[in-house]
Amino acid sequence: MNRIATKARLNKNKKPTIVLMTRWHAIYRCKSRLSEDIGALHAAKIQEKLTNHTIEVTRKIQKEGLADVKVAIDGIGIQAAKKWAHKNKIQKVETQGAGNLGTKMKRQFLKTHSEKTISHKKLRNPILIIGTDLPSISHFDLIEAIQLLTHKEMILGPSTDGGYWLIGLSNKLLNPQCTWPFSGISWGTNKVLQETIRLASLNQIDYQLLHTKNDIDNVSDLSPWLDQKKFQLSALSYQL
């Protein structure tokens, strides 16, 4: 791992950006499916814990000089988002904007790429997008993803619900003239990963899958995490 960190520091001009996409942790603004099972207040508290954990993991990556980090948030206005970001020592924050998940991810890829192009004199750096539904996401997960993206065009972290918890694109795929490879996917279904892989193969994209993780979307997804001291989800006064 030290060799990876050293290599990343020595190649700062190609340092990737990690975009953390999350929803504002307020009642009725996040975790709608989970809210139906355990109530909006408990669901919002779980969202807050998951968001804070993901920020903590990515902040460590940034502190080590391995990646730049920014947060793209939904369910809150930009001024309130900036106030929250300042309080939590988050340097870059913006709202996700309108559209489905595919549209929002595409916007983040293209916007972040454009920002990097301007600030790094047309150098096209890799970009990774992660969600905030994973209590198990770790420093090692992101180190592995960053390393793989140095020689793969695309990486995907599959989730058990048929989507993915991480997607990374190389500088080659981030060329503004490159056709967006994920148009036509049925977002919000259990076929997202399958369709993404099909389109990647159709477009001859060199991709690699990371290990599968389980997102927390429904009450059944909570079971593995209720006894983990780190998250203490049982302390939210909810009993399965």
What would the pLDDT profile of 181-196 be if each residue is shown by its tens digit? 677 788 888 899 999 9
34-38, 70-74, 81-85, 206-210: least confident range? 34-38
Across the chain, how many H-helices and E-strands are there? 7, 7
93, 122, 148 from 86: Cα distances, Å:
9, 29, 32
pTM: 0.82
Indicate whether 121 pLDDT > 80: no
68-80 average pLDDT score: 91
Secondary structure (H, E, C), 111-132: HHHHHHHHHCCCCCCCEEEECC
97-116 average pLDDT score: 86
Indicate whether 8 pLDDT > 60: no
What would the pLDDT profile of 31-46 be if each residue is shown by its tens digit? 666 666 676 777 788 8
Query: How many CB atoms lie under 10 A from the CB of residue 9?
Result: 12
What would the pLDDT profile of 137-171 be if each residue is shown by its tens digit? 999 999 999 999 999 999 999 998 899 999 999 88
What pLDDT is attached to residue 128? 96
pLDDT band at 233 (very low <50, low <70, confident <90, very high): very low
**Strand extents, DSSP E, the chain:** 17-23, 68-74, 93-95, 127-130, 154-158, 164-169, 207-209
pLDDT band at 135 (very low <50, low <70, confident <90, very high): confident
Domains (ranges, CATH) in the chain? 2-236 (3.90.550.10)
- The C-alpha atoms of residue 35 and residue 42 are separated, in whole angstroms, by 7
Q: Please give the share of the chain, as a percent, with pLDDT higher than 70.
A: 73
54-82 average pLDDT score: 92
Q: Please, are residues 23 and 47 in contact by the beta-carbon 8 Å criterion?
A: yes
